[in-house]
Chains A and B, each alone.
Chain A
C-alpha cells in the first residue's frame, strides 16, 4: 500500500498543479490578485516537484543497481551522515535567521522584524517538537 502511494504521489502532485493553475486562470479577476498569484506559485512548485518525481520514477535500474541503491539508502553510515548534515543545516539556518533579524532591525525594522522573529520562533519550535517526538520513540 505504501509503495502504491509512493508511486502515484508524483502524478497526484502533477495533476494538482494543473488544477491549481487552471483554477487561477478560470477565477482570474473574480478573486484578489494575491490569491491568484498564490495559486499560480503553488501550482508551479507542485508541477516542478511532480515532474521531477515522475522523471525519477521512470529511471529503470538493473536488479543489482536497484539493490545497491536501496543499500545506500539504508546504510547506517549514510543515515548518520544525513542526520549530522541535517543538524548542521539547522544551526546554519538559525545563525542566518539571526543575522537577517539583526540587519532588518537595524536598517528596516517594522513588520519585517516581526515576521523574521516569527520564523525564528517556528524554527526553534519545530526543533523542540521533533526532539520531544524522538525522545518518546527512542
Chain B
C-alpha cells in the first residue's frame, strides 16, 4: 500500500508535527507512514483522509499483491 500523505501535506504547506497533532499520533508515525515503513490502521487512514478533506481511496493507494 502506498500513500500520498507527503505530497498532500507539502501541497498544503502543513508540517509533519501539525499533521501528527491533527490526527493525534506522534510525528514518528507520520514519518513512517510517508516513507512506507508502516501501514495505517483503518481508523488512522480515516482520520488522515478526513484531515485532508478527501476519501481514504484518494489518500491511500491499495495495490493488489501479485500472487506467485
Contact = CB atoms under 8 A, between A and B. Distances in A.
Contacts of A75: 25-26, 28-29
B41 interface: yes
Contacts of A72: 26
Q: Chain B binding site: helix, strand, loop or mixed by DSSP?
A: loop
The interface size bin for chain B is: 10 to 19
A68 B38 CA distance: 20
Interface string B10-51: 000000000000001110110010000010110110000000
A86 B43 CA distance: 23
B43 to A, nearest CB: 8
A90 B32 CA distance: 26
A68 B43 CA distance: 20
Interface in A51-110: 68, 71-72, 75-78, 80
Interface of B: 24-26, 28-29, 32, 38, 40-41, 43-44
12 contacts: A71-B25, A71-B26, A75-B25, A76-B25, A76-B40, A76-B41, A76-B43, A77-B26, A77-B28, A77-B32, A78-B26, A80-B38
Interface of A: 68, 71-72, 75-78, 80
